[in-house]
Amino acid sequence: MRIIFENWSVNSERHTTILIQFGKHLKHLREAKGLSQEALANDAELSISQISRIERGVITSSLSQLISISKSLGIPLKTLFDFLK
């Protein structure tokens, strides 16, 4: 199975790996700010379970969700993607 992610063509295993890496990075950023999942979820107007699933790499996020998360963390949106370096 092949998944198109923006202009990248990646297989589902690679896609899953990226989601997991993103989730770990988000968790690190959240913890560095001293926030619980609940606090981040409330401020970003998302459910706690959504934050949990994003951090575990179980679900993808929309751009609007990522913007809300970055604003809640007080970081530029691009910082969420620093794990790709």
Grouping H, G, I as helix, E, B as strand and the rest as coil, residue 77 is helix
Q: What is the pLDDT of residue 52?
A: 98
**What gap in Å lies between CA 16 and CA 74, rounded to an integer?**
27
Question: Residue type at 59?
Answer: I
Give yes or no for residue 3 having a pLDDT over 50.
Answer: no
Q: Which domains does the chain have, with CATH numbers?
A: 2-84 (1.10.260.40)
Band (pLDDT 50/70/90 cuts) for residue 40 is: very high
Predicted TM-score (pTM) of the model is 0.84
The first and second tokens of residue 61, run together, are: 């996020």
